[in-house]
Structure formats: C-alpha cells, structure tokens
Amino acid sequence: MSSKKKTGNRVCIFKAHLGDCEDPDLYASGAIAEYLDTAEGKWVYEECGGDQELMWYTVGIDDEYNMGFVAYLYCNMTDKQKTYWKLLKNENIS
C-alpha cells in the first residue's frame, strides 16, 4: 500500500441488494467482506488504501415495487487505477 493520499474520482465499486432485513448494516458488512475476498476486491483494497479510503452506505430502495436496502461500496481512484479496475472487472465476467 502506498502511504500517499490518492486523489481521483469516487467510484462505486460494488453494489449489493440486501432485500428486506432488520439490520441492513450487518447484512451489508457480510456482502462487502465476501466481495473483498475476491481477486478484484483484494486489488481494490490494496490500491485504494484499505479501510481508511473505502466508504460504504446502505440506503432504502425508494420504489413502490421493491422492498429492502441496497449497499454501495465506494473508493477514490486515479484514472489509471480506474482503467485497470474496469479491465479486471471485465476479465472476471467471462
């Protein structure tokens, strides 16, 4: 990990639909931990500076047809990091 403060764009790197649950923060932390255990998640964790730079939010779905919550995980990335992350993400799809 780099000790330099990275500047860049805030990027949503992970989104999890949690459903209708009593404690969305508890369910979000499990989904985020599973994501960070993947190759892509480990790369993001190391490149973005670890826990200090990752931000996550849980929000209720504002839709009359769906119930529950969505968790979003964000980090700040430089343009170079964002390009590599998008390539890594597309590699995992196929």
| 1 within a domain of the structure (yes/no) | no
Residue 92 falls within a domain, yes or no? Answer: no
Q: Is 85 inside a domain boundary?
A: no
pLDDT recorded at residue 3: 39
Q: What does the pLDDT read at residue 4? A: 44
The structural domain count of the chain equals 1
On whether residue 34 sits in a domain, the answer given is yes
Give the pLDDT score at 19: 80
Q: Which long-range contacts (CB under 8 A, 24 or more apart) does 37-40 make?
A: 38/92, 39/88, 39/92, 40/85, 40/88, 40/89, 40/92
Q: Is residue 51 part of a domain?
A: yes
Q: Mean pLDDT of successive 10-residue segments in the chain (94 residues)?
A: 54 86 86 90 84 77 73 87 83 54
Residue 47 structural domain: 10-79
Which pLDDT value is given to residue 7?
52
